[in-house]
Amino acid sequence: MFSTKMTVFLVLLLQSCIVLASDPDPLHDYCIPIPEFSSIFPSCKNSSLVTVEDFVYSGIKNPGDFKNTGFASIPVNSAVFPGLHTLGMSFVRADFEAGGINVPHYHPRATETAFVLEGRVYSGFVDSSNRVFARVLEKGEVMVFPRGLVHFQMNVGDSPASILGSFNSQNPGSVKIPNVMFGSSIKEEVLMKAFGLNDKEVHKLRKRFVPQ
């Protein structure tokens, strides 16, 4: 009898845990975080204190400064735009000078759609079988990059280009391949063998990508 009751209890407990874990949707219309709270699960403002300004963001009206690197990105997430909190989305504005490149990278927690605002951008991704899906996107075209797949963009026009990227995650994350490989503390021997480089070449690349 005891074992039967225990089995029933464990089944009910497991079902309740599954129900709780499968409910990622917001339980309120919105949750504007209180600025004083910086935890992962901040408290929400009282709805009577929320204004329309909490749902408007003006920080990407102008291009980012890409003069030094040829590329600039302005991420927009709930940290800078509180109205996005708990809505499961974020976005980014990316600006390129002619020839500018957004290096190969991936987002571990989100699929991205990239809409070309201006210019001509060679854009693509690589799937898990090393097949490349890429072509030049014109103004007004959009491309999707599946979650976790390496992708890239390069301005192939003669004038600056701009892209608006959107993500189905409040915190998509971004892993830039060159920075991870040569800007981290991976042993030089690993990098030399993996990329067929000598120690001088690895050292040169590390000077470029290691934060100063």
Task: Dig out the tokens for 115 from the structure.
Answer: 């809409």
Model confidence pLDDT, tens digit, residues 72-82? 999 999 889 99
Model confidence pLDDT, tens digit, residues 190-208? 999 999 999 999 999 998 8
> Domain limits at 185?
57-209
What is the number of domains present in the chain?
1
* Residue 2 placed within a domain: no
* Residue 155 placed within a domain: yes
Helices 199-209 and 188-195 sit at what angle, rounded to 10 degrees?
110
Model confidence pLDDT, tens digit, residues 38-61? 555 668 888 899 999 999 999 999
* pLDDT attached to residue 34: 84
* Residue 143 placed within a domain: yes
The whole model's pTM is what?
0.80
